[in-house]
Amino acid sequence: MSRFIQISGQSTIFEALHSFNENVSSAQALLIVDDCGKLVGTLTDGDIRRGLLAGYQLTDSVKNVMCRSFHYIVEDDNEGVVKNKVEQIKRLRDKKILYIPIVNRDMKVLDVLNLRQQRSLLPIDAVIMAGGKGERLRPLTEKTPKPLLPVGDKAIIDHNVDRLIQYGIEHISVTTNYLADQLESHYAQPRNEVQIQCIREPKFLGTAGAVRFVPKFYNDVILLMNSDLFTDIDFEDMYLHFIDNDADMSIAAIPYTVSIPFGICDLEGRLVKGIVEKPTYNYYANAGIYMFRREVIDMIPKNEFYNATDLIDALVKNDKCVIRYPLNGTWIDIGTMSEYQKAQDLVKHINL
């Protein structure tokens, strides 16, 4: 979120200019409130400039030059309202509106969303799985957990944490096991003003088992992902796709093409019906990023080894709605030396 400055509607234009001058590094706009503290307008230095050119004096009230038809978002926990809020942020971002006041139902300002610093405000709790040994990356992982190996100027896991924060996700848990103390030390201090919570697995519990050890969830939608991914996935788009489809679980999936360099027999039993020359088959592969409703956690057994794929199978068997979210951007699973080098090369040319 962005620092915001409130001033009274009784203030003069000169006083507003003084407020801008005192907060030149942080205030992009002033929020104008009435005597009850309700937001009634916004004021930028451009508004003041236009007002002075129109003939207003420095001693005139800011009410004469403030913007009264401003955009804002009402904070509300109702699921329908929450979804509309995310859609509203997306529309305003597409219109190049970068600073959006967030108010309560009484129009009292709670915060300001700065879309220069983050893309959205998703009502999601995130769990990042970081307990594995990373054996295929040895010797690099003999003394360093794989999530803390550098990719460019920061650790693999921090690329994912920073992207979650960019989408306004503030409740982030990291499940740890192998060399857990290093990850705990790494996140001892807040990152970009967000305190990351480390959860130790008492034993290796698979890709979903450790979720049961997160002490509290704050939202109705949970994002579970591997820590060793290098991706530019759009979490906002995945969330809206999840809500629009009324899904119980969504699986991010990447296109995967298999080309066979031979003629393949089209068989019916032992009979050959024809030859398909060098066919290409298109699939979607599991990308290790999952979104699900909080109540789904009750299906994960306590203190047992349990993978995300086990959870998917259980949901399907219980006729729950499990959907695929197509991930068409950058995605690398840093599980081998070749993939690690690929991420190192790619990070030089793109900014996730």
CA distances from 124 to 5, 171, 210, 235 (A): 28, 8, 18, 10
Rounded to 10 degrees, the C-alpha dihedral 303/304/305/307 comes to -90
* Shared domain check, 297 and 165: yes
Report yes or no on 75 lying in a domain.
Answer: yes
Report yes or no on 259 lying in a domain.
Answer: no
- H or E element: which one contains 323? strand 322-326
Report yes or no on 309 lying in a domain.
Answer: yes
CA distances from 291 to 64, 222, 322 (A): 48, 6, 10
Distance of CA 4 to the CA centre of its chain: 23
* Shared domain check, 303 and 179: yes
Q: What is the pLDDT of residue 79?
A: 52
* Shared domain check, 320 and 231: yes
- Which pairs from 136-145 meet CB under 8 Å and 24+ separation? 136/335, 136/336, 136/337, 137/334, 137/335, 137/336, 137/337, 137/340, 140/340, 143/179, 144/179, 144/182, 145/176, 145/178, 145/179, 145/180, 145/182, 145/183
Domain count, the chain: 2
* Shared domain check, 107 and 201: no
Question: From CA 269, how far away is CA 178, in angstroms rounded?
Answer: 50
- CB atoms inside a 10 Å sphere around CB 79: 12
- CB atoms inside a 10 Å sphere around CB 212: 17
- CB atoms inside a 10 Å sphere around CB 117: 13
Residues spanned by the domain of 100: 5-114
* Shared domain check, 164 and 81: no
* DSSP state, residue 56: -
Report yes or no on 271 lying in a domain.
Answer: no
* Shared domain check, 133 and 108: no
Q: What is the pLDDT of residue 352?
A: 66
Q: What is the mean pLDDT of each run of 10 residues along the chain (352 residues)?
A: 76 88 68 90 88 92 89 71 78 87 88 86 94 86 91 93 94 93 94 92 88 92 94 94 95 91 87 89 90 94 91 95 93 90 86 68
Q: Please say which residue of 79, 114, 149 terminates a domain.
A: 114
CATH number at residue 72: 3.10.580.10
Report yes or no on 262 lying in a domain.
Answer: no
Q: Please say which residue of 81, 114, 147 terminates a domain.
A: 114
* Shared domain check, 11 and 40: yes
Report yes or no on 62 lying in a domain.
Answer: yes
* Shared domain check, 154 and 296: yes
The type of residue at 275 is I
* Shared domain check, 318 and 170: yes
Q: Please say which residue of 93, 114, 135 terminates a domain.
A: 114
Report yes or no on 148 lying in a domain.
Answer: yes
User: What is the reported pTM?
Assistant: 0.84
* Shared domain check, 293 and 191: yes
Q: What is the pLDDT of residue 26?
A: 54
Question: From CA 217, how far away is CA 201, in angstroms rounded?
Answer: 17
CATH number at residue 134: 3.90.550.10
* Shared domain check, 223 and 183: yes
Nearest partner of 188 among 204, 203, 176, 205, judged by Cα: 176
DSSP string, 227-269: TTEEE---HHHHHHHHHHTT-SEEEEEEEEEEE-SSEEEEEET
Report yes or no on 314 lying in a domain.
Answer: yes
* Shared domain check, 220 and 331: yes
